[in-house]
Amino acid sequence: MICSKGLDYLREMEHGVVAMVGSGKQGKSSSLHSLIAYCQPDRPVCMLDPMDIPIEIYPDNYSHVKKATDVPVGSICVIEDVNRAFSSRGSSRDNTLQSWLGIISHRSNLVCFTSQNLASTDLEFARSQDYLILSKKMCGEDIKYERDGNRGAQAIANYWISEAEKIKDCHPKSWVYFQRFNECVSIELVPWWTEAHSKMFREVKL
C-alpha cells in the first residue's frame, strides 16, 4: 500500500469535491478513475454528463445520469471536463449547482471532476464543505490564464511532477500532485482502462 497523506485523506472522504486539474492529454481522467478504484473501490460511481456517453464501457458499478438532481445517494459523482456540464459563471444565473452542492454532505456524495484549469470552473465547487485539488502538469499558456489563487500552487505542482518524472519505474503521466499535502503520488492505472475511455466523446453526438 502506498504511504501517502493525500491517499489516506481521499479514502476517508464520504462527501466533498475533488478537482483533477491540468492541461489536455496529461492523464487527468485515467488518474481520477484509478484513484477512485484504489481509494474507494466499494462505492458506486455515477457519471454526470448531459450527453449520451457510452457508459457500457465502464465497470458494472458505474451508472450515468444527465442531471445533478438524479445522482444517487451515497455515490461518487464523476464529471468529465466539468465546464461542459456547468459553465464557469453558470451558478450566477441558475442556482441548481449551488443547491446541489449544498446538500452533498447530507446525500453522502463525493463529487470528482476534471478541468484544464480552474479559471473555467464555477466557483461554487470551491465553496464546497471540503475541496481537494489534485494537479497534473499544466502548460504555460494554461497557467497564464489560471485563477490567481491557483497559479502559484500549479507552478509548484509542475516542478514536483517534473522531478518525479525522472523516476523511470513509473509512467510519466501517472503522477498526481496533492496541493493540500504538498506531495506527488504515482497512481497505477486501473486494468480496465482503454483507448475507448480516453476518447469517450469520440462518437458522442453533439
How many domains does the chain fold into? 1
Angle, CA of 83, 99 and 78, to the nearest 5°: 45
SS3 assignment, position 51? coil
Q: Give domain status of residue 25, yes or no.
A: yes
Q: Are 101 and 63 in contact (CB under 8 A)?
A: no
What pLDDT shows up at residue 91?
58
Per residue in 120-170, pLDDT tens?
A: 888 889 886 799 999 999 998 889 889 888 999 999 999 999 999 999 899
Domain CATH for 142: 3.40.50
pTM to 2 decimals? 0.93
Q: Give domain status of residue 205, yes or no.
A: no
Grid look-up 465502464 returns 58
Q: Give domain status of residue 206, yes or no.
A: no
Which structural domain, as residue segments, surrounds residue 129?
5-198
Per residue in 32-78, pLDDT tens?
A: 999 999 999 999 999 999 999 999 999 999 999 999 999 999 999 99
Residues 6+ apart with CB under 8 A from 118: 19, 21, 126, 133, 146, 147, 149, 150
Q: Give domain status of residue 169, yes or no.
A: yes
For residue 92, pLDDT beyond 80: no
Q: Give domain status of residue 164, yes or no.
A: yes
For residue 113, pLDDT beyond 60: yes
Q: Give domain status of residue 125, yes or no.
A: yes
What pLDDT shows up at residue 93?
64
